Structure 1
């Protein structure tokens, strides 16, 4: 069994993988819930035979005859286990060369990385700290030196400390659109090759690397356990999306360039106010270091221990999803079709037991991704969109949804078995839906 433990009681990148409207109906509209346990067991057996024969998990796996059979809860868990074990071995073979070379490639862009392993591996897997160097808007040799500095900047009690080298030398080298996909791939590589626990992934960065943390943390919050921003500037980004991501902020009180200290103080106040309004969210530790300028003499290193006390919140009861200029189609248990992915939009969703409430801009119909880990899929649930009930029934677990959500990010701890669309009457014209 896959066990990624949480201490907080609590992709192949398939950006082009599409899900037809008819398929949405088949997994979303099923008010009469009766699972044939023999058919479910047969589908699981067929999947295992298929995986043994093919030796890989691909989009075609989701189209097999057995993939839309309704599953029991136990069989759904076994499906995800079988899919991940096969997918993990597939990734080992496909990505071994890039990991040994310590360099990821995306088109013409390359992202070298170096890493150090600290401490003994916990039973649930290692922690991963991705640490972004400063520089930016400077010649290659300057950014290369910043990378060398970052490799040795911090030490851990436990975990993998990885320092990537930004693919470009631009001023915004850590928050361009390609970074999100490269980091998702980097995380998967370390899960596969260094036995990292995907629920214990952290990002940090200094100066221009801190700029990256400000921007990436809200965008990638559902892939992270915590984030630590050191001596950076947020530019236009907002802290609203940090609702479920513990966020550390460290800036020298005398770091006046670009108003870093002033803006850090503003973020400190914003985070405190957000937490006051929403006490279960916006955990943060914001510090302005007295007497320090841009260099904080490693006082900010305390943030790494602070971050390490948190595991990822995989299934929060409330989601605040704010799209930036770089957009995502998935956030925690919400998914969007291609047509619904829009810059600068805000979606707020919450769950109270078996009832989901979603507020989204007009014309946007999020899909709800479901797992027995946070709802009872043998019982009816209700979904409301902008106050209107759009679904009432018992969703169906299928191999198809499990395959698609796994391939979307190669994240075994965020693989789902059912999905419901909030579009009241999906039609062929309602377009192809990018499903996980």
Structure 2
């Protein structure tokens, strides 16, 4: 939980929006990423996306009913245990967030490879050595740097100066540099940081978490997605309205397929070529679903599905637009940008004989009722 002052400072920078400080599922170190936490956050965001009628000055309901919040401007930030949660939540629920800010947390075994489309700022106190937090940020930053290319894996690393007088290095900078619009001294050569005082060269940067995140708007349909489904903790739970599927941007799998543990899928779509390229799958994931809408493809034309780094395996499929797919995908996330009209089932039991078929209404024949 954030201190009252932490909360007040964050709110002061939220000029046009809603700041929500969520309670943890339990009073434990992993409070924000226990299995049920994922359902809690999914449902919270879903409810914030509901349309709310506006009232005019006479208190009557008008015909204008915008979303309560912009689906493309939802952000996540957290300090300490909340920072631990940011690492996990942002990498599991990546398709929900425009950007993230992690402060004073530890990545553990979070799957940072999933942050291709979620800009993230990592912040830490120089002297915050408990649990190796101040060096874990360097490890995480270097991993993100390896992944970084073009517009993918945008990040900043801010290791803050911890004064000698700080009684608690874990909290010595939380109420100033991270949360107010002032410049702060941060370590310039963070890649060579090995502990307090190891890198004296500093530079002044505006490290305000809210202002940093506000620079970014979510792209709900990125052309390339990277999805590592594995987790080192208990498997995340998801809302009942997801039915038997698990969603991630424009991909889906059965929630608990026996062959998905430890699986990473890399996929790209090309609107000009009307194609989907499955660049890589690992650990023998054999079947998954590609969700499509009119913003991604010309659904009147055959869609080419290509597999493998060498792009040698190609299948073509004519898709059927179906209302059940639209209902199921809207019900699942409540997000107008995640309404899909067609689905392709990709089967890779033998990559040399990849098969694809039109999902039609078969895979979404029933639509679970959403809960608020």
TM-score (structure 2 length as normaliser):
0.71
Confirm whether residue 169 of structure 1 aligns to residue 27 of structure 2.
yes
Contact 1:336 1:433 in 2 (8 A): no
- Kindly indicate whether the alpha-carbon contact (under 8 Å) linking 1:337 and 1:434 is maintained by their aligned counterparts in 2: no
CA deviations 1:225-278 (Å, max 9, x no partner) are 111101111111131110011101111111111111101112122212211xx2
Cα displacement (A) at 1:435: 8.8
For residues 304-323 of structure 1, the aligned pairs below 5 Å read: 304-323=210-229
Shift of the alpha carbon at 1:419?
0.7
Change (3 A) 1:262 1:153: same
Gaps of 5+ in 1: 1-132, 135-145
- Residue pair 1:200, 1:225 contacting (<8 A) in 2 also: yes
**2:345 touches 2:356 (CA, 8 Å); kept in 1?**
no
Q: Whole-Å Cα distance in 2 between the matches of residues 190 and 432 of structure 1?
A: 28
- 5 Å-filtered alignment, 1:316-395, equals 316-325=222-231, 326-327=235-236, 329-338=246-255, 339=257, 342-353=260-271, 354-358=274-278, 359-361=280-282, 362-386=284-308, 387=311, 389=313, 391-395=315-319
**Which of 170, 173, 195 is equivalent to 1:294?**
170
For 1:256, the equivalent position in structure 2 comes to: 129
Q: Which structure has greater helix proportion?
A: 1
Superposition pairs of residues 153-232 of structure 1, within 5 angstroms:
153-155=9-11, 156-192=14-50, 193=52, 195-232=68-105
The count of corresponding residues between Structure 1 and Structure 2 is 287
CA contact (8 A) 1:383 1:391 kept: yes
Which residue is 1:233 aligned to?
Answer: 106
Counterpart of 2:73 in 1: which secondary structure? strand
| CA 395–433 in structure 1, closer or farther in 2 if over 3 Å, else same | closer
Cross-structure match for 1:93 = none
Mapping for residues 114-133 of structure 1, pairs under 5 Å: 133=1
Distance 1:364 1:435 in 2: 23
Larger relative contact order (CA 8 Å, sep ≥ 6)? 1
Please, what is the CA RMSD of the aligned residues?
2.5
Contact 2:107–2:140 at 8 Å: present in 1 too? no
**SS of the residue aligned with 2:71?**
strand
Q: Identify the residue that residue 110 of structure 1 maps to in structure 2.
A: none
Q: Distance in 1 between matches of 2:34 and 2:364?
A: 25
- For residues 363 and 163 of structure 1, do their structure 2 counterparts lie closer, same or farther at Cα, with a shift above 3 Å needed? closer
- How far has the Cα of 1:153 moved from its partner? 4.1
- Structure 2 gaps of 5+ residues are 53-66, 164-168, 180-207, 239-245, 348-354, 368-372
Q: Is the 8 A contact 1:334 1:369 kept in 2?
A: yes
Q: Does the CA-based 8 Å contact 1:150-1:163 persist in structure 2?
A: no
Counterpart contact for 2:114–2:226, Cα < 8 Å = yes
